[in-house]
A and B are shown apart, each in its own frame.
Chain A
């Protein structure tokens, strides 16, 4: 346990020294704040674009506050996912190819600790960044539109955070299996895209599919809709996702154990 904390602390120190601890939260905050602000100023932006015929009146329906938050979740689902995949894509492959894994893994350190300490460090920063970003989105939604109840916001944040964590873990797992960082990021994003497309196109309900999580998160913001979602099926999806995360970590650990280093 002490060794796990030492590994974990080293990962945090690295994120501090490389300023990841600054740019990741800032990216998420910018991402979260931009959606309500852009939506609010959309009519002005359109009218100042200047290519409207003289005298045309632009009337866009003012979106409901929960719709604004839901559309910022959509932003997180694309760019946020990309940020998470990018920050995990070389987590293990780089240690292996640079030779640092060979220095550390000849010491009496368990492979499980090595992998999970790294995982916990990156994911905790990602989660904090997402919470900052989502809070920013919530703040601007309240300021520019109307209030959204915190209970709904919290529920959607938890469901969405689980989705981000799942994709981040996939990227970490692929970084232990694939030498190329870009290919690892691509594999994680492609898996995520596939799962969420499957969940929204196939005509039957897929409780087992983590790809439902973004839809569930957005749906839980809408008081009218989340009555339709039985909370049992939400729980099941969350549990399946947690199990999938655990399996991905087992695979990553196994991969490091069987091939601790390239050099």
Chain B
């Protein structure tokens, strides 16, 4: 795997606050990387430094294979968290404008714009003023303008947060296609999306990089059997659950717990399964769901960001 981007000791301090604290990572050519972290972790700040919109307090950002003095922005396509446009332009005009500013010829920019409007699903609105677009349409137009010059690195800051469930699925499918064409870095709060799409993950927490690596390795390393248990809403079952959680057998640990369900992490799956099933029959609990599987990215995320 050849490295496309390397970031070293990147730091950003706002007046009082250390928004990004000495982080370093590499992005491999052709990889799809998810940047995760709770609100205020520093994801947007990191991304804005990569795109050159924010001067780092210290640290370096280096693209491999870039000529001396070449403009880093030529290789980057960027979709901000809330894309903004000139409301008086039409969607198509904005794409052509963006394309020409990236150095495309008038003809190229025009054909590329039509192609991308089609691709992001707003071809019919291409001739309408952007001022009249919905949030989801702006998000799609934002994606199109980020792609206009076929960037080597596509940077997307929460690309699906403004979309309805159908739109979210469509855009995730688009990103799924795009990751075969170029390198992608995207931030998201939807761990399920990250899990489905990306090769590598970066988890940030309070400005620091808490976890980085390929999804497959991290999963393997942190793989634990998980039993997830759901019960009916009757009083007997409720009381049983509340009581049982406090005296769990050895080797079983409750991670998250709601009124009618619990997720259990087990040291040894077989013993845990037997113990749980025995307990369930003995206490005559009305079980509604018992799922046995392995820890997900969400479990890992929660573990990392809630660690003291």
Interface residues of A (CB under 8 A from B): 2-3, 6-7, 10, 14, 17-18, 98-100, 102-109, 258-261, 263
When the two chains form the complex, which single residue of A14, A108, A260, A263 contacts B101, counting CB atoms closer than 8 Å? A108
Q: Which residues of B contact A259 (CB under 8 A)?
A: 55
Bound Cα distance from A263 to B98, whole angstroms: 19
Q: Could you tell me if B101 and A100 are in contact, using CB atoms closer than 8 angstroms?
A: no
Most chain A Cβ neighbours within 10 Å, of B83, B84, B102, B145: B84
Q: Which residues of A contact B71 (CB under 8 A)?
A: 108
Q: Could you tell me if A102 and B98 are in contact, using CB atoms closer than 8 angstroms?
A: no
Which residue from chain B places its CB closest to the CB of A18 in the assembled complex? B88
On whether A3 and B83 interact (CB within 8 A), knowing A14-B88, A108-B74, the answer reads no
Additional 20 contacts, C-beta under 8 A, given A100-B85, A108-B73: A3-B101, A3-B103, A10-B86, A14-B86, A14-B88, A99-B82, A99-B83, A103-B83, A103-B142, A103-B145, A106-B52, A106-B76, A107-B98, A107-B101, A108-B102, A258-B55, A261-B48, A261-B53, A263-B82, A263-B84
Bound Cα distance from A58 to B53, whole angstroms: 67
When the two chains form the complex, which single residue of A98, A106, A258 contacts B51, counting CB atoms closer than 8 Å? A106
Interface residues of B (CB under 8 A from A): 48, 51-53, 55, 71, 73-74, 76, 78, 80, 82-86, 88, 97-98, 100-103, 142, 145, 149
Q: Which residues of A contact B53 (CB under 8 A)?
A: 102, 105-106, 260-261
When the two chains form the complex, which single residue of A14, A17, A107, A263 contacts B80, counting CB atoms closer than 8 Å? A263
When the two chains form the complex, which single residue of B51, B84, B86, B97 contacts A6, counting CB atoms closer than 8 Å? B97
Q: Which residues of A contact B73 (CB under 8 A)?
A: 106-109
Decide if the interface of chain A is mainly helix, strand, loop or mixed. Answer: helix
Q: Which residues of B contact A107 (CB under 8 A)?
A: 73, 98, 101-102, 149
* B92 → A minimal CB distance (Å): 14
Q: Which residues of A contact B101 (CB under 8 A)?
A: 3, 6-7, 104, 107-109
* A15 → B minimal CB distance (Å): 10
Q: Could you tell me if B84 and A102 are in contact, using CB atoms closer than 8 angstroms?
A: yes
Bound Cα distance from A16 to B27, whole angstroms: 45
Q: Which residues of A contact B55 (CB under 8 A)?
A: 258-259
Bound Cα distance from A2 to B99, whole angstroms: 12
Q: Which residues of A contact B51 (CB under 8 A)?
A: 106
Q: Which residues of B contact A102 (CB under 8 A)?
A: 53, 80, 84
Q: Could you tell me if A103 and B103 are in contact, using CB atoms closer than 8 angstroms?
A: no
Which residue from chain A places its CB closest to the CB of B93 in the assembled complex? A13
Bound Cα distance from A259 to B12, whole angstroms: 14
Q: Which residues of B contact A18 (CB under 8 A)?
A: 88
Q: Could you tell me if A108 and B52 are in contact, using CB atoms closer than 8 angstroms?
A: no
Which residue from chain A places its CB closest to the CB of B101 in the assembled complex? A107
* B252 → A minimal CB distance (Å): 47
Which residue from chain A places its CB closest to the CB of B44 in the assembled complex? A263
Q: Which residues of B contact A14 (CB under 8 A)?
A: 86, 88
Bound Cα distance from A100 to B94, whole angstroms: 11
Q: Could you tell me if B74 and A17 are in contact, using CB atoms closer than 8 angstroms?
A: no
Bound Cα distance from A3 to B101, whole angstroms: 6
Q: Which residues of A contact B82 (CB under 8 A)?
A: 99, 263
